Amino acid sequence: MSTSFLDRKIRHGFDRFDGDRDGRLTWHDHVVMGERTAAGLGHEPGSADGHRIIEAYCRIWERVHRPHDADGDGSVTRDEFAAAIIGAAGRAGAIADLAVTVFEVADADGDGRIGFPEYLAFLRGHQPDMPEEEAAEAFGHLDRDGDGAVGRAEVATAIVEYWTSTDPAAPGNWFYGRPPSALKAVAPGEPGSAV
């Protein structure tokens, strides 16, 4: 069970949120991601638009991640995180919350669509060395209707798939870039679950 595709994907997702790479999720990680994303979108440090993005990341910490801090020490470890998410597959509320906040952050110009430059800045907020080609490949998976942008419904579906789907072929697995072992995760005929 601990080596299932979903488990690996959740741990990979944890690493995308662990902005300072110390192996624990904290409020500070979310500030770091917000600052990077704001800078990637061209907002000056201290500007109102930059502040709005940092605040959105802090809301992700408060509403989505901090509740997993069972002992109240202000941080969530990788194991705590994986156990909480795996155990909470039905917690649709938190995932929907995440989708709304992510959209708010990534749709920098507020036109209701995430264009490729916006998506690239968002990804680089989570992973500064994200190659543009990998982001483009991911974007192609997420833009399911092929209209050249990722819309609200496409974000919502992708986030649900990323955090809950055991299907290695789910397009939403690409939400944070190339998923872990997307093709070699499981043998053909054994979709997703190496239980």
Which CB, 47 or 181, lies closer to Ca ion? 47
Site string for Ca ion, 148-187 (x = CB under 5 A): ---x------------------------------------
Stretch that binds Ca ion, among 11-19, 52-60, 78-86, 96-104 (CB under 5 A): 11-19
User: Which of 7, 35, 107, 161 is close enough to bind Ca ion by CB under 5 A?
Assistant: 107
Q: Is 111 near Ca ion (CB under 5 A)? A: yes
Q: How near is the Cβ of 179 to Ca ion at its closest, in Å? A: 19
Q: Cβ(6)–Cβ(164) under 8 Å?
A: yes
Contacting residues toward Ca ion, per CB under 5 A: 18, 20, 22, 24, 29, 107, 109, 111, 113, 143, 145, 147, 151
